[in-house]
Structure 1
Amino acid sequence: MLLWTTNQSLQNGRFIVQKVLGGGGFGITYSVIEQTTGKLFVIKTLNYIQQSKADFDLQQVKFVNEALRLAQCSHPHIVKVNEVIKEGELWGMVMEYIDGQDLAKYIDERGQLSEQEALRYINQIGQALEYVHAKGFLHRDIKPNNILLRRSTQEAVLIDFGLAREFQGGKTGSMTNAKTEGYAPIEQYERRGTFGAYTDVYALAATLYSLLTSEVPLPANYRKTGIPLHPPKQFNSAISDRVNEAILKGMALLVEERPQTVREWLELVNPKLEVDSLTSAVGMDYKTLRDLLAAGKWQDADEETARVMLAVAKREKEGWLYDEHLDNFPCEDLRTIDQLWLKYSNGRFGFSVQKRIYQSLGGTREYNEKIWDAFGNSVGWIKDGNWMYYEHLTFDLTAPVAHLPWEVLNLVGPWSGILDTSGVGGVSSLASRLVKCNI
């Protein structure tokens, strides 16, 4: 049996095992420290149960495929996979270390969450699932235990893609019937069934049920025998009628009675999540920005973002902004611009993504060269140690997370057309305004 122990050296001394973080039906995770950098990482391997199976080699192939699926994902609410390693006969998946706790432990400590807080996490995981579904596969194990909260930002991150599978919506197929009782829909109890985005919708709705009630919902196979699901409002009278009904709709036993996509369900839970309402406090028209983003014309959208922000601030004639203009920028407009970028980039681009990374590095309104350089490296504005010119940026979805938007940042504070002196004021001021606007 291949199990790692505290202080064990891996990869010829590159990593040192710190401790076991946890495990499930398939895997076990360890925290490790990379000796050359001092950074913490998580390495996941198959657990002793899987290692004892006759088809262990096949299970390892599936495990590596899980890593490949995750490596395709670059989203602020999905755990990042860095690489795959092999230690002896055991494959390991090297992932980012997230300082925080899972939602199951979080509600164990705090009890029922408020509707506002629970919906914030559900919306974030919903965005991650929309991204996953667009790539053609299902997660199939959404539950509070598989959602971590970053301690620094209180943002939700989806983990454990061990049951993730490719799917073609509306087609009958066979999948392993591994599942988590209470969160798995009825089709996951069957060897062959019709799987689709609605499969994850059920689990996401069940997760919201749990966050608001501190109860695990009645398993779908029990419900199929005629035992009714207690409405969540029965356990928590503070739940609104809208959310109560949306949870029950999302957890409908019959596939055809559920919302067919995560977006459809999220709009039932909270209609305000629809980002294409294009609301503006000053009557600004955001249709052009929306259409450019929807068409994937990222550079044009970047320039349009700068144009509309100058117009909102009434600085078109001057052609630049001061910190005070961002400090007073309408929250409603900033939210619309940010959500449009988030939606059409599948969570890769947007001011709120830039804020999260900038602040995670210790960034404040005060200029700090080391932090600014670290931010530039993180978002891909530095190449081979040199800051890039605007025309050399990557204007497509292969760009690093938070790479865009940029042009509006060049309009704030000192600027010279090269990124090392441009953007400092824009990022710091925008980050401050986003915090005040609760974005």
Structure 2
Amino acid sequence: MNKISPQIKYFHESILQQTRLSQMCGTQELFCDRYEIVRILGRGGFGITYLAKNAVLPGQPWCVIKQLSPKVTNTSIWEKAYQRFEKEAQTLAKLGSHPQIPMLLDYFEVNGTFYLVQEYIHGYNLAYDVKRNGLKNEAEVKQFLKEILPVLEYLHENQIVHRDIKPQNLLRCKYDQRFVLIDFGAVKEELADVCENSLDSDATCTFVGTIGFAPPEQFSLRSVYGSDIYALGMTCLYLLTGKGPLEFAYDHNTDEVCWQKEVKVSNSFAKILGKMLKISLKERFQTIDEVKRALDLEEYVPSLTQCLTIQSPKVNNKTKAQEPSSQKYVPYIQRTAIAIREWKEKRQEKAAFNNLKQYLH
């Protein structure tokens, strides 16, 4: 009788575990003696996401169970994958203290399959919002950016690249209207990296991200902070047009998306979107702080542009007559204060004009 190798047997147990969990949906059977599986929320290359209840806690709170299944049959490679999974899960646990990131409630392994249990966010994603309420205008998209950029900055400060920013992964919380960023690709890419660097010919390496929202560098599993900025730019285009990335035309020479004729935004905001969506990393915004500063400056562009075109008013005789007589005595301290105030005003005007010139060019 031929014996089944331990590696193949372990792999088959993992497949059976995935099937069994799906069969538990809508039943009274508890997973791990505490989770009641309600329904499937989504499927992906690395596993399945379930909506569940914790049946042993008061009130049976809702939660989300992410089932991650690295497709490897080599035991040593699986052990490396588990080490990566545990490390990334601990990182997610630390990040969960941020109000715009779901809290990690638990993580564990059962029969070769990894599980993350996270807080369930009651709300709806941006894709659903656009379909239900219609397209967003420029002001609404700017407000969206102001609300979501701080959480991305928080991630990047903790050396985390999200890797899968898109409308479906951005939830508007029902109770307090805050945006929440879900479905981190960090754990998935770490598992893919184990496969890529293994000698296991049966390992399946999977691109982590969403085609169209992910920039070119992400396809080689070399995501950078600018990768999230590109995906965020594509999300803005979706809010403005209702079109996914693959519905746009692309420039054959640069591979950049041709979106300018599809949206109605100011020239200054179009420059910001254009820089977020640059294919070249050198031409794209490098950090979230750069995007925030560009948005802050963009608010003052109309008034600063007007200042550049207005000539200084000429002083006429009437104005001179209204000025204090030169014979009137002004104390030394007062004259010094006036001079300092005028110097500061000129310095601020000069700095504003220089910033505007750099921005417009």
User: Is TM (by shorter chain) over 0.5?
Assistant: yes
| Pairing partner for 1:72 from 72, 94, 106 | 94
Relative distance call for 1:179 and 1:29 in structure 2 (3 A) is closer
Alignment partner of 1:125 is 2:128: no
Q: Deviations over 1:232-255 (max 9, x none)?
A: 4x2232x23222221111111111
Structure 2: how far apart are the matches of 1:166 and 1:95? 19
The structure with the greater share of residues assigned to helix is 2
Q: Which runs of 5+ in 1 are unaligned?
A: 168-173, 275-439
The secondary structure found in structure 2 opposite 1:255 is coil
TM-score, structure 1 normalization: 0.53
Summarize the alignment of residues 322-341 of structure 1 with structure 2, pairs less than 5 Å apart: none
Relative distance call for 1:109 and 1:62 in structure 2 (3 A) is farther
Partner of 1:245: 271
Is the 1:129–1:262 contact (alpha carbons within 8 Å) kept by the matching residues of 2?
yes
Partner of 1:170: none
Partner AA of 2:42 in structure 1: G
Summarize the alignment of residues 56-67 of structure 1 with structure 2, pairs less than 5 Å apart: 58-67=80-89
Q: Deviations over 1:311-334 (max 9, x none)?
A: xxxxxxxxxxxxxxxxxxxxxxxx
The secondary structure found in structure 1 opposite 2:92 is helix
Partner of 2:10: none
Alignment partner of 1:157 is 2:191: no
Is the 2:65–2:115 contact (alpha carbons within 8 Å) kept by the matching residues of 1?
yes
Partner of 1:29: 49
Partner AA of 1:247 in structure 2: L
Is the 1:266–1:273 contact (alpha carbons within 8 Å) kept by the matching residues of 2?
no
Give the superposed CA RMSD: 3.3
| Pairing partner for 1:142 from 165, 177, 180 | 165
The secondary structure found in structure 2 opposite 1:243 is helix
Structure 2: how far apart are the matches of 1:138 and 1:201? 10
Partner of 1:363: none
Is the 1:139–1:165 contact (alpha carbons within 8 Å) kept by the matching residues of 2?
no
Relative distance call for 1:127 and 1:165 in structure 2 (3 A) is farther
Alignment partner of 1:114 is 2:105: no
Partner of 1:94: 117
Q: CA deviation at 1:270?
A: 4.5
Is the 1:137–1:166 contact (alpha carbons within 8 Å) kept by the matching residues of 2?
no
Is the 1:34–1:41 contact (alpha carbons within 8 Å) kept by the matching residues of 2?
yes
Alignment partner of 1:236 is 2:257: no
Relative distance call for 1:156 and 1:27 in structure 2 (3 A) is farther
Structure 1: how far apart are the matches of 2:137 and 2:31? 43
Structure 2: how far apart are the matches of 1:61 and 1:273? 47
Is the 2:188–2:208 contact (alpha carbons within 8 Å) kept by the matching residues of 1?
no
Partner of 2:285: 259
Is the 2:248–2:258 contact (alpha carbons within 8 Å) kept by the matching residues of 1?
no
Partner of 2:210: 180
Structure 2: how far apart are the matches of 1:95 and 1:187? 29
The secondary structure found in structure 2 opposite 1:72 is helix
Q: CA deviation at 1:141?
A: 1.4
The secondary structure found in structure 2 opposite 1:41 is strand
Relative distance call for 1:261 and 1:33 in structure 2 (3 A) is same
Structure 2: how far apart are the matches of 1:77 and 1:156? 6
Aligned length: 261
Q: CA deviation at 1:163?
A: 3.4
Partner AA of 1:16 in structure 2: E
* Greater relative CO (CA pairs within 8 A, separation 6+): 2
Is the 2:169–2:182 contact (alpha carbons within 8 Å) kept by the matching residues of 1?
yes
Is the 2:172–2:178 contact (alpha carbons within 8 Å) kept by the matching residues of 1?
yes
Structure 1: how far apart are the matches of 2:84 and 2:42? 20
Structure 1: how far apart are the matches of 2:150 and 2:189? 18
Relative distance call for 1:133 and 1:183 in structure 2 (3 A) is same
Structure 2: how far apart are the matches of 1:178 and 1:223? 25
Relative distance call for 1:231 and 1:52 in structure 2 (3 A) is same
Relative distance call for 1:177 and 1:9 in structure 2 (3 A) is closer
Q: Which runs of 5+ in 2 are unaligned?
A: 1-14, 191-196, 198-204, 301-361
Q: CA deviation at 1:120?
A: 2.9
Is the 2:249–2:257 contact (alpha carbons within 8 Å) kept by the matching residues of 1?
no
Q: CA deviation at 1:92?
A: 1.5
Partner of 1:351: none
Q: CA deviation at 1:123?
A: 2.5
Q: CA deviation at 1:96?
A: 0.5
% of aligned pairs identical?
30
Structure 1: how far apart are the matches of 2:83 and 2:250? 34
Partner of 1:10: 31
The secondary structure found in structure 1 opposite 2:186 is coil
Q: CA deviation at 1:62?
A: 3.8
Is the 1:267–1:273 contact (alpha carbons within 8 Å) kept by the matching residues of 2?
no
Q: State which structure, 1 or 2, has the greater radius of gyration over its C-alpha atoms.
A: 2
Q: Deviations over 1:386-429 (max 9, x none)?
A: xxxxxxxxxxxxxxxxxxxxxxxxxxxxxxxxxxxxxxxxxxxx
The secondary structure found in structure 2 opposite 1:202 is helix
